[in-house]
Amino acid sequence: MTAYNSSLLRLLDERGYIHQVTDAGALDALAQREVVTGYIGFDATAPSLHVGSLVQIMMLRRLQQAGHRPIVLMGGGTSKVGDPSFKAEERKLLDDEAIAANIASIRRVFGRFLTFGDRPSDAIMLDNAEWLDELNYVPFLREIGRHFSVNRMLTFDSVQLRLEREQPLSFLEFNYMIMQAYDFLELSRRLGCRLQLGGSDQWGNIVNGVELCRRADGKEVFGVTTPLITTADGSKMGKTERGAVWLNEDQLPAYDYWQFWRNTQDADVGRFLRLFTDLPLDEIERLERLEGAEINEAKIVLANEATAMLHGREAARAAEDTARTTFEQGRAGEDLPTLSVGDGVNIAHALTQLGFTPSNKEAKRKIAEGAVRLNDKVVTDSGLIVTDGKLSLGRKKHGLLVR
C-alpha cells in the first residue's frame, strides 16, 4: 500500500479500490485541502445495473464517507452511442424512450448507497443528455475535436482489441471517448468537478478527460481506476449460471442476491468484505482468518451486509432465515423463488422458468444426471408433470411450485 495522507485515498487504498491514479501526490494534497467533487458515469443500456457496477457505486459511497461530493452521471446521451471499450461488437442502439425508461429504473438503486441533498458532501445526479443532446456538430469539432489525436486514440487498448481481431468499430462508437472526455469538461465547468472514477477498462477514456480539461481550460483534474474485480478462479465477478446478478429487486429477488454473496469462494471473502460492506477493517481481518467450516460464518456476514445495504436489513434477515430453513432444516423457506404452475407443468419447463437452467434441453440433461429433486427426492423422468412442492437443482438452487 502507498502511504497517503488524505482520508479519501487512505480509505480507497485500505479497502482495495485503487488500481491507477493520474497524479496521486497532487490528488492526495487536494483531498486534504478541500471538498473534492468526483463522478462516475453509468450508461442506461438495461433497466438495472448489475453487481459488476457495484464496485463503482461503492467508490462513490467511499468518496462521500470521506467528506467529499459524489456525482452520479446518468448516460442519457452516451447511451445513444454505446461504450466500445473491450466489447467485441457494436451495442444495439436504443431509442430515447427506452433510455429514459432505463434511467428511471436504475436511479432508484443509488438512494440506498448515497445521501442526496444540498449539503457540501451530498450526492447529486445528472444526465449527460442535458449537454450532449444540445451540441452543434461543427462547433463541437472546432472547440473539442481539435484537442484529440486520432493517432493516439488508435493506440488505446479498447480500440486496438477491435482492430487486431478485425472486428468493426463504427465512427459512432469511435466518438464515445470524446463524448466521455467532454462530460468531464462540462462537469468541471459547471460544478468544479476535479475527479473521475471508474473501472480499469475506462483508463484511456479518463485520461482523455483529464487532458481535455488541461488543454481546453488549463484545469488540473484527476482520475482513479479500480482493478478488474474477478473471483479467485479468474472469472469475471457477477457472472453466474443464471446470468447477471441484477441490483433492482424486480430483476433479481433479494433472496437470490443474498445467495450470490453467500456462495462467494473462500479466497474472496476478505476482499469482498472490504469492497462491498462497511464493516470495520479489524472485524474483516478477524473474519478472513476463519478456516474450514467456520469460513461460512464470514460468508453469511458478507451476504447479510451486502444485502442489507441494497435491500434493507429486514430483507437480509429474511433471506438468511429462509436459507437456514431450507439448507439446515430441510424445509422450504417462505422467501424462495416461487413459480405458479396452475394445473401442472413439465418439470423441465419448471426448471427453466425458475431460471435454474438456460433452456429445457439443459434442464433435461440435469435431470438425466440425477441433479434434480422434487421434495428432496431425485427425479429421473424429464416428462414428469408437477403441480406443487420444492424443486431443487443441485445443493444451492431451490424454488417453490404452487398451484
* Residue 140, φ and ψ in degrees, nearest 5: -65, -45
CB atoms within 10 A of CB 111: 11
Q: 253-328: CATH homologous superfamily?
A: Tyrosyl-Transfer RNA Synthetase (1.10.240.10)
pLDDT exceeding 70 applies to what percent of the chain?
A: 91
pLDDT band, very low/low/confident/very high, at 90 (cuts 50, 70, 90): low
The whole-angstrom separation of Cα 197 and Cα 203 is 9
Task: Evaluate if residue 241 carries a pLDDT over 90.
Answer: no
CATH 3.40.50.620 spans which residues of the chain?
Answer: 7-226
Distance from C-alpha of 73 to C-alpha of 40, rounded to nearest angstrom: 6
What pLDDT digit, counting tens, does each position of 322-346 carry? Answer: 888 876 555 555 567 878 777 788 9
Could you tell me which of 188, 222, 227, 228 has the C-alpha nearest to residue 207? 222
Superfamily of domain 338-402: RNA-binding S4 domain (3.10.290.10)
Q: Stretch 241-269: mean pLDDT, rounded?
A: 88
Cβ neighbours of 360 (radius 10 Å):
16
Highest mean predicted confidence (pLDDT) among 50-54, 87-91, 275-279: 275-279
Task: Give domain 7-226's CATH number out of 3.40.50.1370, 3.40.250.10, 3.40.50.10740, 3.40.50.620.
Answer: 3.40.50.620
Least confident of 39-53, 209-223, 363-377: 363-377
Where are the CATH 1.10.240.10 domain residues in the chain? 253-328
Looking at per-residue confidence, does 54 or 157 come out higher? 54
Cα-flanking dihedrals φ and ψ of residue 390, to 5°? -100, 120
Q: Round the CA-based radius of gyration of the chain to a whole number and report it.
A: 23
Is 354:315 a contact under the CB 8 Å cutoff?
A: no
Q: What is the mean pLDDT of residues 214-221?
A: 96
The lowest-confidence range among 238-247, 267-276, 300-309 is 238-247
**Average pLDDT of the segment spanning 204-222:** 95
With a cut of 60, say whether residue 111 has pLDDT above it: yes
Res 82: pLDDT: 64
| pLDDT, tens digit (0-9, with 9 covering 90-100), for 156-210 | 776 777 677 777 677 767 778 888 999 999 999 999 999 999 999 899 889 999 9
Any idea which of 124-128, 167-171, 248-252, 313-317 has the lowest mean pLDDT?
167-171
Q: What is the average per-residue pLDDT within 148-161?
A: 74
Q: What is the pLDDT of residue 374?
A: 85
pLDDT number for residue 60: 98
Asked if residue 88 has pLDDT above 50, the reply is no
In this prediction, residue 22 carries a pLDDT of 97
- Residue 120 exposed, middle or buried by CB count within 10 Å (0-12, 13-18, 19+): exposed
Q: What are phi and psi of 251, to 5 degrees?
A: -95, -30
244 exposure class (CB count in 10 Å sphere: 0-12, 13-18, 19+): middle
Whether the per-residue pLDDT at 306 is higher than 80: the answer is yes
Rounded average pLDDT over 376-403:
82
* Side-chain-side CA neighbours of residue 269 (13 Å): 26
Per-residue pLDDT, 324: 83
Predicted confidence (pLDDT) at residue 35 exceeds the cutoff of 90: yes
Residue with cell 451486502: 306
Which of 222-226, 247-251, 395-399 shows the highest mean pLDDT?
222-226
The more confidently predicted of residues 376 and 383 is 383
DSSP state of 43: E
Q: Between the CA of residue 84 and those of 166, 171, 177, what are the distances in Å?
A: 14, 11, 9
Of 32-41, 320-329, 363-372, highest mean pLDDT: 32-41
* pLDDT score of 375: 76
Q: pLDDT (tens digit, 9 = 90+) per residue, 122-143?
A: 999 999 999 999 988 778 877 8
86 band by pLDDT with thresholds 50, 70 and 90: very low
Q: Which carries the bigger pLDDT value, residue 384 or residue 387? A: 384
Locate CATH 3.10.290.10 in the chain: 338-402
Q: How many CB atoms lie within 10 A of CB 340?
A: 10
Query: What is the helix (H) or strand (E) element at residue 320, kind and residue range?
Result: helix 313-323
